[in-house]
Structure 1
Amino acid sequence: MTFFDSAQWDGQMYSGGWVRGGGGTQDVVEPATGNAIGSFGVASADDVAKAAEQAAAAQLAWQATSFEDKAAIFRRAGALIEEHTGVAVDWLAREAGSGQGKAGFEAHLVATEFYSAAAMVEAPYGQLLRSGKPRLSFARRLPAGTVGVISPFNFPQILSSRSVAPALAAGNAVILKPDPRTAVSGGLFLAAVLEEAGLPQGLFHVLPGGADVGEALIEQPSVRIISFTGSTGAGRAVGEAAARHLKRAHLELGGNNALIVLDDVDLDAAVSAGAWGSFLHQGQICMTTGRHIVHESIYPEYVERLAAKAQNLPVGNPATGDAPLGPVINASQRDKIHSLVTGSVDAGARLAAGGTYEDLFYRPTVLADSALDHPGFAEEIFGPVAPVIKFGSVEEAISIATASDYGLSLGILTKDAMKGLSVADRVPSGIVHINDQTVDDESVAPFGGVGFSGTGARFGGTEANLEAFTETQWVTMQGDIARYPF
């Protein structure tokens, strides 16, 4: 049997091995064609309870496993992903509608997550503390127990892996609920990789399903941390449910990210960056550039060139051709995109490019003459749409950029990098890129947003990952029992 042969997993989920789900099966639907290209097992609440029991038992032995053995497993996982990049890319293209370039980039990021996990288990995990008493005092990081991960459809492999890998590296067991629209690339593929890499059975579970499975995961007493990536609305519900059960919830939510283009830029480079930020993966990225804030002196030419980019970008089936843009994930998402575009045009925006679709293939769209209250400018679109607004002064640009409840990623384009940094100081954002667009991610860098975009940086780098997936314990040691006046 070849690696990740469908005969291994078709109709299955992963929980103590490949098993049937209590919720039956669901088809894997290819958005580009509407065809069923496989099936997977759907979990039930009972499956969550069984997985939690297995995970709690397996975690104790995993916590005691040497760091050398853990690191070897993660290195093997990273190597397997690199070895089978073609498999990962194929599933991302077919199931998630990813362009070949985006899919390849995502597979590379997933491999780096596991290599970073290998480094994490070898890193220091505590701190010596001063004490006013004659004793040794230190703080150490210990596994929380079991971590629940709820991941979305848009970058399914990386948005699962960036929680799964460090949570396992911290000594936890993990139960992953991938989005059922991308259960294979966002879950079952990772199960096959980790099984092949030698991860002990019972430590990692993939339970596809709907909101009921997510609720059951949050309610499980042994699941101490919930790591959620998704919409702001769903994140509120997850955070509220987790709070009722007194468990931590790390929420990485939506964004309506601003790209501020000052008047001194190289215009060709700025337009290229802006197009990438808005149109990559059909705009279905939390970091997508959702607001182009452009100085009035270069605004007309910026819009003209951005519209030309949009008109010339091929859109097609990424599994059968080399079109950089594929379909959006489903008809509901397409209709939401189109409603925001038409609503903006009705409110006074000018359609400079796009605004049309065929099946699930939405054309890259530029909305010129946008205003703060236009729906396409004020709301997260999650589609290949670039709303553009003009400004006259830096103060006005900052005012426009801050007129949003979101705060995930900010791009500032200018020849004066220090001026860009001074602008960044005044715009709340979890991520800032000076002289780059808003979409970027590295396994070694902290990632997260503020405001409606989430609860801060919870992923990336050993420090953030230890903070996210461990508990801190204070320990003191002394040679003799202290004497007290009682």
Structure 2
Amino acid sequence: MTADLLNSTNWSAKALAGEWKALSGGQIDVIEPATGQVLAQVALANAQDVQASALLARQAQKSWAAMPYGERAKIFRKAGELLEANRQAFATWIVRETGGIIPKAMFEIDSVVHHCHEAAAMLTQSRGLVLPSVDGVTSLARRVPHGVVGVISPFNFPFLLSSRAVLPALATGNAVVLKPDARTPVSGGVLLALMLEAAGLPKGVLHMLPGAAEAGEALVTDPNVPMISFTGSTAVGRRVGELAGKHLKKVALELGGKNSLIILDDADLEMAICGGSWASWLHQGQICMSAGRHLVHRSLYETYASRMAEKAKALPVGDPHTQPVALGPIITAAQVQRVDRIVQESVRMGARLLAGGTPNGQFYPATVLADVTPEMPVFREEIFGPVVAISAFDSDSQAVALANDSEYGLSAGIHTRDIGRGMALGEQLNVGLLHINDQTVNDDGTMPMGGRGASGNGSRHGGPANWDEFTQWQWTTIRNTAPAYPL
């Protein structure tokens, strides 16, 4: 077993394109958001690089799909073992490159270990059905791979969100071209490529090409890539969907969210405050499932708001690589400016600023806004920052109306002591993920993850959805003798 995957290959200023090599697109610096320090260099892919890798992946896919399932399963199990052996080195990269705290990095690693074992398990699951047929005919429906899957992953949980698409796509017999976000190319691409290469994945089956918009558009339009799995913003997702549709490709879009955490009048207030803190401040709020709206019954409203403000003021902010902090840096200075613009515009429109709201370089403190109304940007826009936005409601029907007043439809949480009431309210919400007596940020590789409306196109990642997304049905009939037709 390779003890040190990070040093097992010379990947500096390179990408995995059949082999580790420089690309014609040049190279980019990997920047630590907390300090501005250059951590490494990786190769940058352009359209020409993507085209070359897509062709190589298509050529490698058939032999990969034909490999005995037991041998393929061993590769995924070995990958999980290698990840366990390298977890501290991988976690350090996730912390420094994404700005996440250590527990967040460890969650990513534990989740990817789980996905490795789930990928191995997929290879012993049924791949089809025996359908009804007439005598003398066997009628089958089986799942077959698309061929090459293009995966475009984001910056916020890059190791996990790359892996949750790459691993099941490989397990179902596809080759993969992965384009990690250019802001987190090591956590989102290099780590995964090194792990799978060391585990024995055949050459050419996985290509890892860090890139910007040019590389992404080339991947979506390449004729050798019949499916795209995209995780990222709704604005970019619309463009991906448009291009994929034009080229008649299957596309799985997991996009943004404006998620509501609903606190009913009979809720356990302590648990609701605990969950609300996690839902908006975990990883600086840079999660598609973060609670963008805290909808609180008027009887609990002022207490909830004041307690949230107390918690916000007590949370330390700083460099998670060198300090024991609760919140690290925002990914870029431009994103800090965006978060602050949303907060300040909402304050000018009447929101009460109870805590935070003042950036310090690339750090933004835990922030609490009360008296938020639907016309404010903090109510309408996805923030992707550590902001609790609190609105009051007087009835369950009003809570439903506020929660559904959005183009998004990803996640919702409801706190109540009455499970039946919570379920009845939840059934009225336009979301893909619903959590009764929990908050909005939940993830498990065995569940189908995805949203509705501007949060996605109904596609899902995880569990049984992986077969739906990364394969397609093929109908096959087998006859003992050929039939005679009347013409």
Fold match by TM threshold 0.5: yes
Quote the residue 2:473 is aligned against. Answer: 472
Quote the residue 2:182 is aligned against. Answer: 180
Match of residue 147, structure 1, among 143, 149, 154: 149
Quote the residue 1:459 is aligned against. Answer: 461
Residue 2 of structure 1 deviates from its aligned partner by 3.4
Deviation string 1:341-378 (CA, Å, 9 cap, x unpaired) is 00100010000111011111100001101001110111
Quote the residue 2:420 is aligned against. Answer: 418
Residue pairs, 1:209-224, within 5 angstroms: 209-224=211-226
In 1, Cα distance between the equivalents of 2:37 and 2:140? 57
In 1, Cα distance between the equivalents of 2:230 and 2:438? 27
In 1, Cα distance between the equivalents of 2:420 and 2:448? 22
Letter in structure 2 aligned against 1:361: F
Q: Quick check: 470-479 or 226-235, which moved more? A: 470-479
Q: Does residue 241 in structure 1 map to residue 228 in structure 2?
A: no
Q: Does residue 157 in structure 1 map to residue 168 in structure 2?
A: no
Match of residue 390, structure 2, among 376, 388, 399: 388
Quote the residue 2:87 is aligned against. Answer: 85
Residue 3 of structure 1 deviates from its aligned partner by 2.1
In 2, Cα distance between the equivalents of 1:485 and 1:175? 48
Residue pairs, 1:374-453, within 5 angstroms: 374-453=376-455
> What secondary structure is seen at the aligned counterpart in 1 of 2:183?
helix
> What secondary structure is seen at the aligned counterpart in 1 of 2:166?
helix
In 1, Cα distance between the equivalents of 2:46 and 2:439? 41
Letter in structure 1 aligned against 2:43: G
The 8 Å contact of residues 100 and 327 in structure 2, kept in 1 or not, is answered as yes
> What secondary structure is seen at the aligned counterpart in 2 of 1:339?
helix
Letter in structure 1 aligned against 2:467: L
Q: Does residue 275 in structure 1 map to residue 249 in structure 2?
A: no
> What secondary structure is seen at the aligned counterpart in 2 of 1:4?
helix
Q: Does residue 119 in structure 1 map to residue 121 in structure 2?
A: yes
Residue pairs, 1:212-361, within 5 angstroms: 212-361=214-363
Q: Percent sequence identity over matched residues? A: 49
Deviation string 1:154-210 (CA, Å, 9 cap, x unpaired) is 000111011000000010000000000000000011000000000000000110111
In 2, Cα distance between the equivalents of 1:343 and 1:5? 48
In 2, Cα distance between the equivalents of 1:7 and 1:151? 23
In 2, Cα distance between the equivalents of 1:220 and 1:397? 45
Letter in structure 1 aligned against 2:20: W
Quote the residue 2:107 is aligned against. Answer: 105
Q: Does residue 29 in structure 1 map to residue 62 in structure 2?
A: no
Letter in structure 2 aligned against 1:197: A
The 8 Å contact of residues 254 and 286 in structure 1, kept in 2 or not, is answered as yes
In 1, Cα distance between the equivalents of 2:307 and 2:339? 22
In 1, Cα distance between the equivalents of 2:170 and 2:4? 26
The 8 Å contact of residues 255 and 380 in structure 1, kept in 2 or not, is answered as yes
Q: Does residue 195 in structure 1 map to residue 182 in structure 2?
A: no
> What secondary structure is seen at the aligned counterpart in 2 of 1:335?
helix
Letter in structure 1 aligned against 2:210: P
Residue 7 of structure 1 deviates from its aligned partner by 6.7
In 2, Cα distance between the equivalents of 1:86 and 1:164? 22
In 1, Cα distance between the equivalents of 2:159 and 2:231? 12
Residue 408 of structure 1 deviates from its aligned partner by 0.3
The 8 Å contact of residues 220 and 243 in structure 2, kept in 1 or not, is answered as yes
Letter in structure 1 aligned against 2:440: T
Letter in structure 2 aligned against 1:94: R
In 2, Cα distance between the equivalents of 1:395 and 1:7? 58
Residue 457 of structure 1 deviates from its aligned partner by 4.0
Q: What residue ranges of structure 1 are gaps of 5+ in the alignment?
A: none
Q: What residue ranges of structure 2 are gaps of 5+ in the alignment?
A: none
TM, length-normalised to structure 1: 0.98
The 8 Å contact of residues 253 and 459 in structure 2, kept in 1 or not, is answered as no
Residue 132 of structure 1 deviates from its aligned partner by 4.0
The 8 Å contact of residues 231 and 254 in structure 1, kept in 2 or not, is answered as yes
Residue 384 of structure 1 deviates from its aligned partner by 0.2
> What secondary structure is seen at the aligned counterpart in 1 of 2:10?
helix
Quote the residue 1:4 is aligned against. Answer: 6
Residue 323 of structure 1 deviates from its aligned partner by 0.8
In 1, Cα distance between the equivalents of 2:84 and 2:138? 45
Letter in structure 2 aligned against 1:471: Q
The 8 Å contact of residues 4 and 86 in structure 2, kept in 1 or not, is answered as no
What is the count of residue pairs matched by the alignment? 485
